[in-house]
Chains A and B, each alone.
Chain A
Amino acid sequence: MNISIIGLGGIGSILVNTLSRYLDTNCSLHPVHIKLVDGDDYEPKNTIRQEFINFGNKAYIKKRELSNKFSNIYYEDFQMFLDDNFISEIISENSIVFVAVDNHKTRKLVSDYAKKLNDIIIISGGNELTDGNVQIFIRKGGENVTPSLTDYHPEIENFEDKLPNEMSCEELSNSAPQLYFTNFMVAGHMCSAFYNVIEKNNYKVSEVYFDLLTMNANAKKRIPKNIRG
């Protein structure tokens, strides 16, 4: 099983720990190869809501940490932000891609690239301060089984943000406040999506929303707009 995790911040650093523990002992899914993608460093300011054991590049640190812990998984680190130049190394046929980034431009990049492939599963999560969502984009045999990340989301299709490697240091440091619990819930719903799709062959749900303040969660079933992408 080939898995890529793009973004190892508040969501990704939690997600990869939980996912690894599950995959390490689940022999039916072996061999497991996880690509960890992030160009950012884990710094003291991140300790409030991110899961790392050392400071340094997040992909590298996480690979070292988890390789020691989970011997049945092969980890590969990509110490850079995803862009057009190396997306083909990260996203390939029959892979599962977790998108845990903090910008819509990367989500659109991944979604558009996935449309060129025949069989791919994209699980993308995002949040605001106290609510969030997880999108599940599945292609099988060259057709969209669920809507792409942009189908019902014009804010992703017509993104107004930048890739991290296009942002200035000031822009990067001016990020909106986030809550660890909200990141944690997104990661949990991404694991739930993975379990439903991989273990239960449940392709019905295309998006899940949750709200920390009301403690509600709502799964959505939508029809893909362009069946052939």
Chain B
Amino acid sequence: MSKIKSMSIAELEEKTVAELRELCKKYGIVGMSKARKDDIIDEISNFYDNYENFEDSLNITNEEPSKLPYINANLHSFLDVNDTYKTLISVSCGAASSNYPVVGKTVGYVKATYREILNIEIDSKAVTNGNEVSDSYILKSGDTLEFVRQAGVKG
């Protein structure tokens, strides 16, 4: 009972870059605004492959298209995606870490979204690639993001 109609590579190649980007938006694939057509097609094709294995465990209806970005985020976290996957960024706080599809999102958005999962303190400093950044910093492909956990007091 697939709710997403997969397209073949040939069908995708017939589409314009703008149409492909629209599809990415629909599927919740982020970080494609400056990507080349071939890369976008790869991402969508990858999404179809992963989705087919995952969709049966999800209860999606045609009336709930807004769920798709959320599902895609879960899908990427669920799968053991390799480091070269462009849409994922390593986000950590203390000993906890995971990869999330947050390219193009602000640090503040990530903090609010993953605060409970990663146990991020509200006044935690954000560090990307070793440097402190503000909440308005927009994450790029290849960034790593750390929310600095407070140091332990006791000994």
Tell me the A residues contacting B by CB distance below 8 Å.
7, 9-12, 100-104, 107, 124-128, 131-133, 135, 149, 152-156, 161, 175-176, 178, 183, 186, 209-211, 214, 216-218, 220-223, 225
A225 neighbours in B (Cβ, 8 Å): 132
What's the least CB distance linking A48 to chain B, in Å? 14
In the bound complex, how far is the Cα of B153 from the Cα of A175, in angstroms? 11
Closest to A11 in B: B155
Cβ-closest 9 pairs across A and B? A126-B152, A211-B95, A127-B152, A216-B95, A209-B94, A223-B130, A11-B155, A132-B152, A209-B95
**Contacts between the two chains (Cβ within 8 Å), count:** 87
Tell me the B residues contacting A by CB distance below 8 Å.
92, 94-97, 123, 125, 127, 130-132, 146, 148-155
Enumerate 15 A-B pairs (CB-CB under 8 Å) in ascending A order: A10-B154, A101-B155, A103-B153, A124-B151, A135-B151, A153-B150, A161-B153, A186-B152, A211-B95, A214-B96, A216-B96, A218-B95, A220-B92, A220-B127, A222-B130
A211 neighbours in B (Cβ, 8 Å): 94-96
B92 neighbours in A (Cβ, 8 Å): 218, 220
In the bound complex, how far is the Cα of B154 from the Cα of A218, in angstroms? 19
Q: Is A152 within 8 A of B127, CB to CB?
A: yes
Contact A102:B97 (CB < 8 A) given known A154-B125, A225-B132? no
Q: Is B132 within 8 A of A126, CB to CB?
A: no
What's the least CB distance linking A154 to chain B, in Å? 7
Q: Is A127 within 8 A of B154, CB to CB?
A: yes
Q: Is B127 within 8 A of A126, CB to CB?
A: no
Q: Most chain-A CB neighbours within 10 Å: which of B97, B146, B153?
A: B153
Q: Which of B123, B131, B151, B155 meets A156, CB within 8 Å? A: B151
In the bound complex, how far is the Cα of B154 from the Cα of A102, in angstroms? 4
In the bound complex, how far is the Cα of B97 from the Cα of A155, in angstroms? 22
A217 neighbours in B (Cβ, 8 Å): 95
Q: Which of A149, A176, A210 meets B95, CB within 8 Å? A: A210
In the bound complex, how far is the Cα of B155 from the Cα of A175, in angstroms? 10
In the bound complex, how far is the Cα of B155 from the Cα of A220, in angstroms? 21
What's the least CB distance linking A55 to chain B, in Å? 20
Q: Which of A102, A152, A210, A218 meets B155, CB within 8 Å? A: A102
Closest to B152 in A: A126
Q: Is B151 within 8 A of A155, CB to CB?
A: yes
Q: Is A178 within 8 A of B154, CB to CB?
A: yes
A210 neighbours in B (Cβ, 8 Å): 95
In the bound complex, how far is the Cα of B147 from the Cα of A218, in angstroms? 12
B125 neighbours in A (Cβ, 8 Å): 152, 154
Q: Is B130 within 8 A of A221, CB to CB?
A: yes
What's the least CB distance linking A220 to chain B, in Å? 6
In the bound complex, how far is the Cα of B94 from the Cα of A216, in angstroms? 9
In the bound complex, how far is the Cα of B130 from the Cα of A153, in angstroms? 14
